[in-house]
């Protein structure tokens, strides 16, 4: 049973003590509250979907006014996440299910997360059977996008680019729009492209012989991305941008934006190269 009605009498046992074993999501609600009636079925469904990774505790504030006062509940629905006896996060109102999942996933480890971590460790140790297990785990919990991204990373390592791309493109729009997904797609494209590229020594010779060989510079940047040498990759793209904004319909700038996404869209390196890019635009 993953959800329970909580009162002042059992709060210490069912919430405070229980939260030391797994997070407890406390839903303060009222029978007269319309948003509460729409939110509770979603929370109940998620509690079942997460298979015990967290517990749902429901508090009727009309019957448990002392608890509502104790936790400073001013409006309902009011939802608080308790871990190790402490409130670690909260939200108010009937927010969409996708937002609730994102809220939970910051704090909750699902059973499929643990299984995927174990299978991934076996894969890294060379256990071929781990690949089959990882497929089964990813398919067993399709709403867990974290493990699907882990599986994509393995597929890319196995050079199964078509399969990896299909999984990424099947993710919900709100997930695909995240910087980490854009970064994975950029890396995937680089890996696909690299199979047909000239080798690095010949590309370096071409650039040395003709600094305006933009195709060679673009291909060099792909090689550098695969080596995780992002500074060298961005230097090549900046040089394309500096020399010819018309090449490839501004391929230098577009390539830089893709690398920024691959790096998560922020950080010291991204900031530095955004400034360099901006200096060439204005």
Kindly list the catalytic residues.
33, 36
Q: How far apart are CA 233 and CA 191, in angstroms?
A: 14
Give yes or no for a contact between 82 and 16, defined as CB atoms under 8 angstroms apart.
yes
Give yes or no for a contact between 160 and 129, defined as CB atoms under 8 angstroms apart.
no
From edge to edge, which strands make up the β-sheet containing 78-83? 3-5, 55-60, 24-29, 78-83, 86-92
φ, ψ (nearest 5 deg) of residue 83: -130, 135
């Amino acid at each position: 049973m993953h959800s329970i009605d909580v009162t002042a009498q059992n709060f210490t046992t069912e919430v405070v003590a229980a939260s030391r074993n797994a997070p407890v999501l406390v839903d303060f609600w009222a029978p007269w509250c319309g948003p509460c009636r729409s939110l509770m079925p979603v929370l109940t469904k998620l509690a079942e979907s997460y298979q015990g990774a967290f517990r749902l505790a429901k508090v009727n504030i009309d019957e448990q006014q002392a608890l509502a006062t104790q936790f400073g509940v001013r409006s309902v629905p009011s939802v608080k996440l308790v871990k190790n006896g402490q409130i670690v996060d909260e939200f108010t109102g009937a927010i969409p299910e996708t937002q609730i999942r994102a809220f939970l996933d910051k704090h909750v480890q699902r059973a499929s997360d643990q299984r995927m971590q174990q299978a991934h460790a076996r894969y890294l140790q060379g256990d071929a059977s781990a690949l089959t297990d990882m497929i089964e785990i990813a398919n067993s919990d399709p709403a867990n996008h974290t493990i699907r991204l882990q599986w994509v990373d393995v597929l890319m390592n196995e050079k199964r680019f078509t399969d990896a791309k299909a999984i990424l493109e099947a993710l919900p729009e709100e997930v695909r729009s995240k910087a980490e997904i854009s970064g994975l797609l950029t890396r995937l494209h680089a890996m696909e492209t690299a199979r047909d590229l000239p080798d690095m020594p010949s590309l370096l010779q071409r650039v040395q012989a003709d600094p305006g060989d933009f195709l060679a510079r673009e291909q060099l940047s792909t090689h550098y991305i695969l080596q995780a040498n992002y500074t060298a990759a961005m230097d090549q793209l900046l040089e394309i941008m500096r020399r010819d904004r018309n090449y490839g319909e501004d391929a230098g700038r577009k390539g830089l934006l893709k690398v920024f996404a691959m790096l998560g869209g922020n950080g010291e390196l991204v900031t530095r190269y955004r400034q360099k890019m901006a200096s060439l635009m204005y």
